[in-house]
Amino acid sequence: MYRITAKEELDVRDFFMEVEAPHVARAWKPGQFVVLLIHKKGERIPMSIYYADRETGRIGMFIRRHGKTSFDLWDNFDVGDSLYAVAGPLGTPIEVKYYGNVVFVSDAVCGQAENYATLKAMKEAGNYTISIQTFEDRAHSYPEKFLAKPVADEYYLTTEDGSRGIKGHYLDVLKELIEKDKVDIVFGGGKLGSLKKLAELTREYGIPTIVTVRQIMVDGTGMCGSCRILYDGEIKFACRDGPMFDAHKVDWDDVIRRDSRFVREQEIAKKHYLESRGVV
């Protein structure tokens, strides 16, 4: 069992959770994720890592209240309670080395966690780090202390409606930076649709771009093939061969389509859960 050591609201939808998982904390590297199973009847859900502390054996995560599992986790699990399973770290770490000017862009929960985690390592490797974090609006943006600012040499926060930080999307800020010739490599995470656009943008300029390809997973170890994607004309497993891939080689339309494979079932699960809580 894996004890919850901290839990805090980030915005109206996302929350932060810290869990004791020393086996993961000691081995985790940026680019890798974990799989959680909150209770015995649960689903195995992948999560990015915000930090992994070897000393305390704890890992931090940003989690969005999305559907059944994440609702359940928020509603029914508090500090002191335990999760049934935390497996990992999974996936292939990204290569942390000197690239020059490294940008990390993100516009949704799993990307926001990685933005901090990746740039922290990149800064330690001597890179000049630039972070761009996009939120929808002020109500959906995170408190200062959870932003990637401390690990960025240059930091930009944008909201799509301009209610906090710069008005616009990370794509707009990035384009400016590229035109100023400040970008050697881009890493990214978050919404799949934005990552597709990101790939189109950086391809034009020939800038290497590595992003998290989120796919629906079961085991997370390469055993089931649920997370398969088309990459450079070949089938790859996002959990084992990724989850971070060269954005220019990913077939984004297929990735986006496969992400909605279980929408109907997810709605049923959510309804079932809310009914059991007497909410609807």
Partner 1 sequence: MAKPKLIKERVPTPERPVEERVKSFVEVNLGYDFASALKEAERCIQCPPEYAPCIKGCPVHINIPGFLKALRENADNPDEAVKNALRVIWNDNTLPAVTGRVCPQEDQCEAPCVMGKVGDPINIGKLERFVADYARERGIDQELLKEFIAETDGKGRVAVVGAGPAGLTCALELAKMGYKVTIFEALHEAGGVLMYGIPEFRLPKDILKTELEKLEKLGVEVKTNYIVGKTVTVEELLQEYDAVFIGTGAGTPKLLNIPGILLDRIYSANEFLTRVNLMKAYLFPEYDTPIAVGKKVIVIGAGNTAMDAARSALRLGAEVTIAYRRGREDMTARVEEIGHAEEEGVKFEFFLTPVEFIGDENGKVKAVKFEKMRPLEERDRRGKRKIVGTGEYVTIEADTVIIAIGLEPNKILVEASGFKANPDGTLIVDENLMTSIPGVFAGGDAIRGEATVILAMGDGKKAAKAIDEYIKDKKANA
Ligand X SMILES: Cc1cc2nc3c(=O)[nH]c(=O)nc-3n(C[C@H](O)[C@H](O)[C@H](O)COP(=O)(O)OP(=O)(O)OC[C@H]3O[C@@H](n4cnc5c(N)ncnc54)[C@H](O)[C@@H]3O)c2cc1C
Q: Which does 279 bind (CB under 5 to 8 A by kind): ligand X, ligand FES, partner 1, none?
A: none
- Residues in a beta bridge with 2: 83
Binding of partner 1 by 90 (CB under 8 A):
yes
Q: Is 94 helix (H, G, I), strand (E, B) or coil?
A: coil
Binding of ligand X by 211 (CB under 6 A):
no
Q: Which does 89 bind (CB under 5 to 8 A by kind): ligand X, partner 1, ligand FES, none?
A: partner 1
Neighbours of 172 (CB within 10 A): 14
Token readout for 219 is 């085991």
Pairwise CA distance, residues 205 & 169, whole Å: 19
Buried b (16+ CB within 10 A) or exposed e, 116-127: bbbbbbbbeeeb
Minimum CB separation from ligand FES for residue 10, in Å?
26
Binding of partner 1 by 41 (CB under 8 A):
yes
Closer to ligand X by Cβ: residue 205 or 262: 262
CB 33 within 8 A of CB 48: yes
Binding of ligand X by 33 (CB under 6 A):
yes
Minimum CB separation from ligand X for residue 35, in Å?
8
Pairwise CA distance, residues 8 & 152, whole Å: 23
Minimum CB separation from ligand X for residue 119, in Å?
16
Pairwise CA distance, residues 67 & 32, whole Å: 23
Query: Between helices 263-276 and 68-76, what is the axis angle to 10°?
Result: 30
Minimum CB separation from ligand X for residue 246, in Å?
16
Residues that bind ligand X (CB under 6 A): 33, 43, 45-48, 61-64, 66-70, 109-110, 113, 212, 214-217, 243, 259, 266, 270
Binding positions for partner 1, rule: CB under 8 A? 23-24, 27, 32, 37, 41-44, 68-69, 84-90, 218-219, 221-226, 228-230, 235, 240, 251, 254, 257-258, 261-262, 264-266, 268-269, 272-273
